[in-house]
Amino acid sequence: MDCGTCETAGPVQVMQPEVVDVGLTISDKAQTMLADAFGDDRSMALLVGVLSGGCSGYMYDLQIVEETDQSCQEITINGFRVLVPNASSHLLDGIEIDYVDRLMGGGFKINNPNADSSCGCGESFA
């Protein structure tokens, strides 16, 4: 192996999932919590993405951002900006963003009709 052989290596075709128009909902409880998090500043957005990893292979990634470099769909729900990366849109169409209020394992929760199975902690799915 040397630099030359690696530089000339042919690209491997990886799966490019179909981009779908995402529809999602946010529960009343989650909207209340988002309002607390955002305050009066509605220029910020909730980025809802998916990363690889976790017990089930895919992990939710929730962030509050101003902008992102990722190619995203922007959805506005009751004044909240929600960004969904096109790369993971096929995994997120139809989700409900909920908030679970309990001492252990509480926080934002994604109810995902596309998930065949989920990790016990709710952070990853397959």
Partner 1 sequence: MPTAPYHDGHLSVWRGNDVLSFIDGLSTNHVLDLQEGQFRHTTFTTAQAKVIDRVGLFHMGGFVAVFSHGPYWDSLMAHISPRILGQDVTISNATDNNNFFVQFGVEGNEVGTFRASEGATVAHSRPHLNYIVASKNSQVSVDSTPSDFHEWRTHHLIPWQGFEITKKHHAFACGLGEDVHPSKGCYIGQELLTRMRTRGKMGRELVCVDTDDAPLKDVTTRGLSKSLAIVRL
- Site pattern 19..48 for partner 1 (x: CB under 8 A): ------------------------------
Count of Cβ atoms closer than 10 Å to residue 78 Cβ: 9
Residue 58 interacting with partner 1 (CB under 8 A): yes
Q: Which residues pair with 42 in a beta bridge?
A: none
Which positions ≥6 away from 7 have C-beta within 8 Å?
Answer: none
Minimum CB separation of residue 11 from partner 1 in Å reads: 5
Residue 53 interacting with partner 1 (CB under 8 A): yes
Question: Which one-letter amino acid corresponds to residue 41?
Answer: D
Looking at 10-18, 24-32, 73-81, 98-106, which segment touches partner 1 (CB under 8 A)? 10-18
Minimum CB separation of residue 116 from partner 1 in Å reads: 10
Minimum CB separation of residue 40 from partner 1 in Å reads: 31
Whole-angstrom distance, CA of residue 83 vs CA of residue 11: 30
Whole-angstrom distance, CA of residue 126 vs CA of residue 82: 23
Buried b / exposed e over 5-19, threshold 16 CB at 10 Å, is eeeeeeeeeeeeeee
Minimum CB separation of residue 30 from partner 1 in Å reads: 23
- The tokens of 125 are what? 């799915």
Q: Judged by CB under 8 A, which of 25, 32, 42, 57 binds partner 1? A: 57
Q: Which is nearer to partner 1, 6 or 103 (CB)?
A: 6
